[in-house]
């Protein structure tokens, strides 16, 4: 008997065949969240570009304040006020000071700020400072935050919302990103009709095309919907040839179990070398998943069953789409929770089980994870669950109260 791969084995085998995309595009910063950087982002400037105050108060020469206290304040002469957005035209000499707002530029000659709370102005230009300042107090020096040439984000970084401020701070308004992987999505099955169309008896809607397209888009791919292909070897072969020629990844659902009319394995094998990588996985749901490679393009054959197809696409296609963009695996998307009931599992196959979360995340295990069992695993369970748990193949189920890692769905 063939060794049946686990999901993780299948994924690492697939990842070895990924040829990262080199096509790039330049996007305005308001369009690049979720995209992957084509080049490292380096600072081209010093930030801040001038010495700034981090408080409201007086710019002073620190040595003028040494020994100052409430009972013996330093007496300084006020020589000016710095305006926001301007470099002061005056300098601070010995015994002098100037008002500077938070973020304002420090005049030449000054080397510290005294907070406004520690200053009294009895009249005229006289300022009384009742606290000693050390050189550098409350100053942000040129380049303190960033120096010219410093790498801020590496190539391959997936842009997050929080990065937009970073780009703006670096005065970047256009960002080079990797082009979106083109992902062909095909459904096979003579019983399928598109969602907009009325069903005749015995027909079912093609759920996989729109469901997988949403997943592809979320992973940063461009969903190329190729429609429903009749379950005939020649038609399937032709559709796959076209998809391999103009897409970076091919997802086909249906036709991968061993029914009479399932020509998918033959059609994938016919696309080129090295051909089939695996057929069948040790997981439930998702067993009939298969994959092949032709001309450096991966073809992933997903189960026809929508929930199984979705989970296999989530666990296999999503990381491939990220890898095509040269992005590291997505960050943690997991919470720890305690199971609310005993969960049986098939020994010998990994189980993927949708769960609902309850509780507050204030401490580990304070979430509870309630398994959602469905008779036929209808796709709507994805709307009812918060995430899923994976039960290893050799584990005979989980007792209630077990701590589990819940993969959150978004």
Least gap, CB of 19 to a copy of itself (angstroms): 26
Identify which of residues 141 and 342 has a Cβ nearer to a copy of itself in the complex: 141
368-to-34, 177, 261, 350, 351 alpha-carbon distances in Å: 30, 40, 43, 21, 19
Identify which of residues 68 and 207 has a Cβ nearer to a copy of itself in the complex: 207
Least gap, CB of 43 to a copy of itself (angstroms): 9
Least gap, CB of 287 to a copy of itself (angstroms): 11
How would you classify the pairing of strands 192-193 and 334-339? Answer: unpaired
Q: How far apart are CA 230 and CA 146, in angstroms?
A: 58
Identify which of residues 17 and 102 has a Cβ nearer to a copy of itself in the complex: 102
Least gap, CB of 204 to a copy of itself (angstroms): 7
CA nearest neighbour of 17 among 374, 274, 344, 280:
274
Least gap, CB of 383 to a copy of itself (angstroms): 4
Q: How far apart are CA 229 and CA 56, in angstroms?
A: 69
Q: How far apart are CA 287 and CA 303, in angstroms?
A: 8
Q: Burial of 191 by CB count in 10 Å (0-12 exposed, 13-18 middle, 19+ buried)?
A: middle
Identify which of residues 153 and 293 has a Cβ nearer to a copy of itself in the complex: 153
Strand partners, 99: 58, 81
Least gap, CB of 102 to a copy of itself (angstroms): 6
Roughly how many angstroms between the first and final C-alpha of the chain, as a whole number? 38
Identify which of residues 230 and 397 has a Cβ nearer to a copy of itself in the complex: 230
Identify which of residues 48 and 272 has a Cβ nearer to a copy of itself in the complex: 48
* Cis, bond preceding 354 (omega within 30 deg of 0): no
Residue 108: how many other CB atoms lie within 10 Å: 14
Identify which of residues 226 and 297 has a Cβ nearer to a copy of itself in the complex: 226
What's the chain's Rg over C-alpha atoms?
A: 31
Least gap, CB of 38 to a copy of itself (angstroms): 16
């Amino acid at each position: 008997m063939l060794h049946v791969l686990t999901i993780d084995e299948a994924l690492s085998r697939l990842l070895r065949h990924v040829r990262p995309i080199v096509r790039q595009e330049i996007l305005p910063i308001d369009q690049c969240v979720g995209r992957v950087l084509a080049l490292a982002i380096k600072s081209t400037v010093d930030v801040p570009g001038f010495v700034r105050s981090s408080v409201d108060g007086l710019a002073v020469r620190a040595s003028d304040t040494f020994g100052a206290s409430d009972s013996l304040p330093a007496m300084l002469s006020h020589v000016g006020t710095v305006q926001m957005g301007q470099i002061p035209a005056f300098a601070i000499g010995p015994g002098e000071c100037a008002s500077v707002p938070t973020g304002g530029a420090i005049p030449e000659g000054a080397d510290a700020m005294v907070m406004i709370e520690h200053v009294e102005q009895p009249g005229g230009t006289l300022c009384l400072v009742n606290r000693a300042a050390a050189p550098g107090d409350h100053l942000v020096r040129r380049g303190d935050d960033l120096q010219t040439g410093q790498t801020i984000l590496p190539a391959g970084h997936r842009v997050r919302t929080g990065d937009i401020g970073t780009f703006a701070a670096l005065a970047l308004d256009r960002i080079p990103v990797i082009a979106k992987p083109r992902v062909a999505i095909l459904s096979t099955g003579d019983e399928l009709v598109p969602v907009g169309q009325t069903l005749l008896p015995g027909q079912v809607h093609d759920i996989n095309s729109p469901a997988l397209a949403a997943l592809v888009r979320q992973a940063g791919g461009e969903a190329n919907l190729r429609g429903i292909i009749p379950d005939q070897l020649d038609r399937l072969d032709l559709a796959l040839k076209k998809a391999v020629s103009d897409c970076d990844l091919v997802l086909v659902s249906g036709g991968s179990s061993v029914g009479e009319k399932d020509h998918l394995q033959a059609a994938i094998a016919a696309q080129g070398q090295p051909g089939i990588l695996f057929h069948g996985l040790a997981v439930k749901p998702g067993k009939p998943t298969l994959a092949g490679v032709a001309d450096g393009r991966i073809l992933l054959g997903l189960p026809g069953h929508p929930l199984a197809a979705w989970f296999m696409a989530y666990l296999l296609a999503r990381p491939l789409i990220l890898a095509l963009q040269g992005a590291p695996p997505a960050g943690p998307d997991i919470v720890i929770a305690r199971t609310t009931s005993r969960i049986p599992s098939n020994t010998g196959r990994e189980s993927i089980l949708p769960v609902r979360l309850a509780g507050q995340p204030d401490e580990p295990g304070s979430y509870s994870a309630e398994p959602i069992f469905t008779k036929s695993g209808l796709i709507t369970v994805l709307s009812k669950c918060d995430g899923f748990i994976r039960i290893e193949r050799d584990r005979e189920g989980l007792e209630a109260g077990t701590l589990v890692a819940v993969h959150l769905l978004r």
